[in-house]
Amino acid sequence: MGVFTYDYESTSPVAPVRLFKAFTIEAAKVWPIAAPNTVKSVEVEANPSSGSIVKINFVEGLPFQYMKHQIGGHDENNFSYSYSLIEGGPLGDKLEKISYENKFEAAASGGSICKSSMKFYTVGDNVITEDEIKALIKGSEGVYKPIEAYLLANPEACN
């Protein structure tokens, strides 16, 4: 097994606290409403806390039917969270899991900077290329961008 690390940053006009809540605490409620063309439902095994399993079911016609995440932890004071993609989605037969550490920070111009560190754990001698990683990030924008748009259009959500 190989481990490949990739760091990524993106900006958003949405405040860090709201993005944090939309992607962690309120994800099961927000995602299907904000991204109905992508997310069918989000099932949380228990409270969204460390060790819990979250299953994201996608609408028909997308390349993946579902993904399962295992929550690593949340830090509500620092707007950071970690999880691992452990089943479904883009893992295929090449990846064992993908671990994510994300943090939303206030941007100087307002809004947020999302800092992500991803670790790709490959099966056997498989290698993941930077182009493949960028394609995975682009695919995740199918959920991220609609959630961002939803938060902008609904200022009372995730406060």
pLDDT digits (tens, 9 = 90+) for 30-85: 999 999 999 999 998 766 667 889 999 999 998 889 999 999 999 999 999 999 99
Give the model's pLDDT for residue 56: 94
Where is average pLDDT lowest: 11-15, 27-31, 35-39, 133-137?
133-137
Determine the average pLDDT of the residues in 102-124. 95
Give the model's pLDDT for residue 136: 87
Give the model's pLDDT for residue 1: 75
Q: Across all residues in the chain, what is the average pLDDT?
A: 92
Cα separation values, 154 from 107, 109, 158, 159, Å: 20, 21, 9, 10
Domain locations along the chain: 2-153
Give the model's pLDDT for residue 47: 65
Q: Is the pTM of this model over 0.75?
A: yes
Give the model's pLDDT for residue 45: 79
Superfamily name and number for 2-153? START domain (3.30.530.20)
Cα separation values, 125 from 74, 87, 90, Å: 32, 20, 18
CA angle 56, 92, 101 (to 5 degrees): 55
Determine the average pLDDT of the residues in 148-152. 96
Give the model's pLDDT for residue 48: 62
